[in-house]
Chains A and B, each alone.
Chain A
Amino acid sequence: MNLESNVPEGPLKDKWSKHLNDIKLVAPNNKRKHNVIVVGTGLAGGSAAASLAELGYNVTSFCIQDSARRAHSIAAQGGINAAKNYPNDGDTIWRLFYDTIKGGDYRSRESNTYRLAQVSNEIIDQAVAQGVPFAREYGGLLANRSFGGAQVSRTFYARGQTGQQLLLGAYQAMMRQTHNGNIDLHTRHEMLDLVVVDGKARGIITRDLVSGEIKRWMADAVVLCTGGYGNVFYLSTNAKNSNVTAAWRCHKRGAGFANPCYVQIHPTCIPVSGDYQSKLTLMSESLRNDGRVWVPKEKEDDRHPNDIPEEERYYYLEEKYPAFGNLVPRDVASRNAKIVCDKGMGVGPTGRAVYLDFRDAIEREGEKTISEKYGNLFDMYENITGDNPYKQPMRIFPAVHYTMGGLWVDYNLMSNIPGLFVAGEANFSDHGANRLGASALMQGLSDGYFIIPYTIGNYIAGAELDKDIDIKHEAFNEAAENAQSHIDKLLGVNGDKSVVDFHRELGQIMWDKVGIARNEEGLKQAIEEIQALREEFWQNVRVPGEAANYNKYLEFAGRVADFLELGELMAKDALHRDESAGCHLREEHQTDEGEAIRNDEEYAYVAAWEYQGVNGQLQEKLHKEDLEFEFVELKQRSYK
């Protein structure tokens, strides 16, 4: 497997501009002749499709939902980072880069992360010009707030709906191109396979989710923007349709899957209330600007939180990390919530929750100000739990939120399959072992607006693609038959256990053994349990209905089948990475206080896995891309 990162030579700050000067261009009148497939219409896919179409490419775009505007990105709440330094608090591109690479516990590529920080400012300009109504100060200029892992205010936001507003901006840009005939948009279509001809990505196979029809699409390049795989845990903050299928099927066609074990568990989510629970709801990290996290000092203290006096409260983040306090990075906050709950100090009916308290902020700033900042989140909390957070602290607990791992890509965001580009949460590129808040929106939009549109031209200009093939080529036949037979197989099992039950069981294994904290024994058990569950799935799953119809259970069955393979790879990856880094905490490697201990000597690399088949066990071969740090010094992270 070729893991050449193709990072340009030269000083960090000049790499991207130099690359832009050097890359090949496609002449404007030729772009029309090139088809590009963009799968996914979230921030990454929406921005990529719009920008590629503006440049003149013929774009064909796909999404699962009934409208491009409904991609999971719409749910992002808190904000988007940029190094504008409008508040004049000393922010720079270097600082944003440094915070991001440190936040990721030095497991990402320097050059990619630096470019992300460089491009960040243009994203804000672009969004404002589109009419994205970011929060403003009374003077009419843009407002900022702080997020975890940073000591400057660099987060732009639109109340608690930043993802919605940014996505609508990208969606509208996309619809403008659809109107002009430059984008051919297909909603309610699910990609089921990648078509590779002569070693290059040349098309995809989709299922029309309304009619069930299997369709073939050809192109000069494919851009995968299909989001993250957090739903392998069944319960997560991701939207219900978020899945790994497109990425996994590319993996099965030869694309390396990088760092699958890096999963971010978000510290502030509404705790689980019962078996019927279908998803977990995030309470934005921005709440940690004003909310104070605490548990009672007394174990199993069942007093009402408002009756617990100040001196009997344990503000564990403020005490342990005086410099960052409640704004430590997510991995640190989640781990500490688990530690206090494991010690018996957790609250609520299950004892698996901590308090997030706004009492002091309300006293200081008044209910009105707090409501202006977080009103919709408070309402959402009350709606779900029946409790009023203006009157008593919220109860929160960590939940699976984001996946840093994903398909391996080089500096151009191209996978090891030429012509297959991967953007947004679906790639592994910029966040290392932990992502800082407000940086996924930044990455998705940077990939889609400002990187892929240029790097794809470089590829297409030099690709020398076979012009004589069409969708009747044998590679298309084989892939279409493969997609159809997978569906037939799912419908043919005819067992008596539902898809949801399998998914829930898989999620439980993942949460218990491949979750916040992992150890060798648990990971080995997880691998065996997942294998057994997968075998049971193929013998006993019941998928109702038929293939040629709208059939959500069938869609989900296909996704769960892929999760049942991915889950094993995640456990394998977590087992092989015998160190702690960022969100990947191996219990064997931690300080007395539960901080991750990295092993830079042996593990400063990207683990990219090559699929080799599944036969009872998942066969995967490990490849390594060594991470070289030319410009930053690797240090033990400290937020004290």
Chain B
Amino acid sequence: MAEEFTINLKIWRQAGPDQPGKLVDYTLDTVNEHMSFLEMLDVLNEKILNEGGDPIEFDYDCREGICGSCDLMIDGRAHGPKAMTCSCQLHMRNYNDGDTITVEPFRARAFPVIKDLVVDRSAFDRIIEAGGYVSIKTGSAPDANSIPVDKQVADTAFDYATCIGCGACVAACPNSSASLFTGAKLAHLNRLPQGEPERKKRTVAMVEQMEEEGFGDCSNFAECEAVCPKGISISAIAEMRRNYMKAALAGDEA
């Protein structure tokens, strides 16, 4: 069995949306290298409970890096130090005995805190609602192979479609922009023949919804790309801008 070591933690505690929050110190001396970061927090919670305290709330579900629920700001970096890795897939072997780790929620005006490390990311759903789909009805589809799609186009669409909607891009952006999230969905759907007919309408609607939700503008800091656990390329944003400009210039209605 792997050896246990000690980690010091500073964790954001906030009782509710309108309450003040602060960093609280904890020490855990039973960490081992095979634990995931969230398992380390589970163990800490059990300890807090045993001492009669209130456990720390944080979001998670799959713990496999695919559902996008987990969303921790670890030492000032969305999802922590390891590239292409969600908070739930980060393992304690990346830390050493005696390290101090600060854990905060993903912060943005459009992501209000619900409790402790849990935030409200429903703004993302509303951006998809605005146009992140192909408008077809169940049962009306032609045979799947009736429209061949260039393998490269399909593969690129897939790369953008792997976005898990975690919000790391927003949390990392100095402007709290949701451009990578929005751009990724647009880059997925807009390049496929199935998505082409609604390209302009979709682009304008999603971009405008993003602004309405209170996300900031993109100033090309590229912090989003650096923290994205799925490695989504910032080219999505340039593509979104081009499509938006074209649609706006053409004066198409949204």
- A→B interface (CB under 8 Å): 47, 50-51, 54, 65-70, 72, 74-75, 84, 86, 122, 124-131, 133-142, 158-159, 161, 164-165, 168, 171-173, 175-176, 178-179, 187, 210, 239-241, 273-274, 276-279, 281-282, 349, 379-380, 383-384, 386, 449-450, 453, 498, 500, 542, 544-545, 549-553
* B139-155 at interface with A (beta carbon < 8 Å): 139-145, 147-151, 154-155
Q: Identify B145's interface contact among A141, A165, A176, A179, CB under 8 A.
A: A141
User: A215 CB to closest chain B CB, in angstroms?
Assistant: 18
* B49 interface neighbour in A134, A139, A158, A542, Cβ under 8 Å: A542
A278: B residues at CB distance < 8 A: 36, 38-39, 42, 63
Kindly state the separation between the CA atoms of A281 and B135 in the bound complex, as whole angstroms: 35
Pick the residue among B61, B142, B150 that contacts A125 (CB under 8 A).
B142
- Out of A131, A383, A545, which one reaches B134, CB within 8 Å? A131
Known: A74-B66, A276-B42, A544-B49. A130 touches B54 (CB 8 A): no
Q: Do B129 and A453 touch (CB < 8 A)?
A: no
Q: Which of B95-103, B188-196, B246-254 contacts A (4 or more CB under 8 A)?
A: B188-196
25 contacts between A and B (CB under 8 A): A54-B137, A66-B69, A67-B124, A68-B125, A70-B62, A70-B68, A84-B144, A125-B143, A130-B194, A131-B188, A136-B154, A141-B148, A142-B144, A159-B158, A172-B134, A173-B133, A175-B125, A176-B133, A176-B135, A179-B129, A240-B63, A273-B34, A274-B2, A277-B39, A279-B64
- B129 and A175 contact, CB distance less than 8 A: yes
Q: How far is the CA of A598 from the CA of B128 in the complex (A)?
A: 50
9-residue interface stretch from B115-123, B168-176, B212-220: B115-123
**A256 to B215 Cα, complex, angstroms:** 48
Which of A65, A176, A500 is close to B46, meaning CB atoms less than 8 Å apart?
A500
Q: Is B32 an interface residue (CB 8 A)?
A: yes
Indicate if the CB atoms of B66 and A164 lie closer than 8 Å. Answer: yes
Residues of B within 8 A of A47 (CB): 138
Contact with A along B47-85 (1 / 0, CB 8 A): 001100111010111111111110000000000000011
Q: Which partner residue on chain A sits nearest B140 by CB separation? A: A129
How many Å lie between the Cα of A255 and that of B230 in the bound state?
Answer: 42
Chain A residues whose C-beta falls within 8 Å of the C-beta of B121 in the assembled complex: 66-67
Question: Which residues of chain B from 196 to 219 have a CB within 8 Å of any chain A CB?
Answer: none
Known: A142-B144, A386-B93. A130 touches B136 (CB 8 A): yes
Q: State which size class the interface on B falls in.
A: 35 or more
**Does the CB pair A240–B154 fall under 8 Å?**
no
B157 CB → nearest A CB, Å: 4
Q: Report A440 CB to chain B, min CB distance, Å.
A: 16
B91 close to chain A: CB less than 8 A: yes
User: What 10 A-B pairs come out closest when comparing CB atoms?
Assistant: A140-B148, A129-B141, A172-B133, A133-B158, A125-B141, A128-B144, A51-B138, A179-B129, A273-B34, A550-B115
Residues of B within 8 A of A75 (CB): 62, 64, 66-67
Give every chain B residue within 8 A of A74 (Cβ-Cβ).
62, 66-68, 164
A171 to B32, CA, bound (A): 38
Contact of A239 among B39, B67, B89, B143 (CB under 8 A): B67
Interface contact tally, CB-CB below 8 A: 215
Give the interface of B toward A (CB within 8 A).
1-2, 16, 32-36, 38-40, 42-43, 46, 49-50, 53-55, 57, 59-69, 84-85, 89, 91, 93, 114-115, 118, 120-122, 124-125, 128-130, 132-145, 147-151, 154-155, 157-158, 161-162, 164-165, 188-189, 192, 194-195
Residues of B within 8 A of A498 (CB): 46, 49-50
Q: Contacting B1 at CB < 8 Å: which of A133, A274, A282?
A: A274
Pairwise interchain contact A133-B161, C-beta atoms closer than 8 A:
yes
Bound CA span A552–B54, Å: 11
A139 to B148, CA, bound (A): 7
Q: B38 — nearest CB in chain A belongs to which residue?
A: A278
- Closest-CB distance, A265 to chain B (whole angstroms): 18
Chain A residues with CB below 8 A from B89, complex form: 380, 383-384
Indicate the member of B42, B84, B121, B154 with the most A CB atoms within 10 Å. Answer: B154
Q: Do the beta carbons of B122 and A187 come within 8 Å of each other?
A: yes
B91–A140 CB distance below 8 A: no
Contact check, A136 vs B192: say whether CB atoms are below 8 A apart. no
Chain B contacts for A549, CB-based, 8 A: 16, 115
Which of B42, B55, B66, B141 is the one whose CB lies under 8 Å from A126? B141
Q: Which residues of A contact B142 (CB under 8 A)?
A: 125, 129
Q: How far is the CB of B98 from the nearest CB of chain A, in Å?
A: 20
Q: Which of B36, B59, B91, B161 contacts A168 (CB 8 A)?
A: B161
B43 near A276 with CB under 8 A, answer: yes
Across the two chains, which residue of chain A brings its CB closest to B159?
A133
- The one of A128, A129, A158, A175 in contact with B132, judged by C-beta atoms closer than 8 angstroms, is A175
Query: When the two chains form the complex, which single residue of B39, B57, B139 contacts A122, counting CB atoms closer than 8 Å?
Result: B139
- Residue ID in chain A nearest B163 by CB atoms: A168
- Asked if residues A137 and B151 are in contact (CB atoms below 8 Å), the reply is yes
Q: Does A126 contact B138, Cβ atoms closer than 8 Å?
A: yes
**Whole-angstrom CA separation of A74 from B62 in the bound complex:** 8
Interface centre among B43, B144, B155, B158 (most CB of A within 10 A): B144
In whole angstroms, how far apart are the Cα atoms of A281 and B62 in the complex?
9
Docked complex Cα distance between A239 and B43 (Å): 18
User: CA of A129 to CA of B2 in the docked complex: distance in angstroms?
Assistant: 50
Given contacts A125-B142, A128-B144, A179-B130, contact A133 B66 (CB under 8 A): no
A86 touching B67, Cβ below 8 Å? no
Q: How far is A262 from B1 in the complex, measured between Cα atoms in Å?
A: 34
* Cα separation A510 to B34 with both chains bound (whole Å): 25
The smallest C-beta distance from B226 to any residue of chain A, in angstroms, reads: 18
Q: How many Å lie between the Cα of A263 and that of B144 in the bound state?
A: 33
**Cα(A3)–Cα(B134), bound, Å:** 40
Q: Is the CB of A553 within 8 A of B67?
A: no
Q: Which residues of B contact A136 (CB under 8 A)?
A: 148-149, 151, 154-155
Looking at the assembled complex, report how far the CB atom of A220 sits from the nearest CB atom of chain B, in whole angstroms. 20
Besides the known contacts A54-B137, A128-B147, A282-B64, 4 further A-B residue pairs in the complex with CB atoms under 8 A apart: A75-B64, A127-B144, A161-B162, A552-B57
In the complex, the chain B residue whose C-beta lies closest to that of A160 is: B66
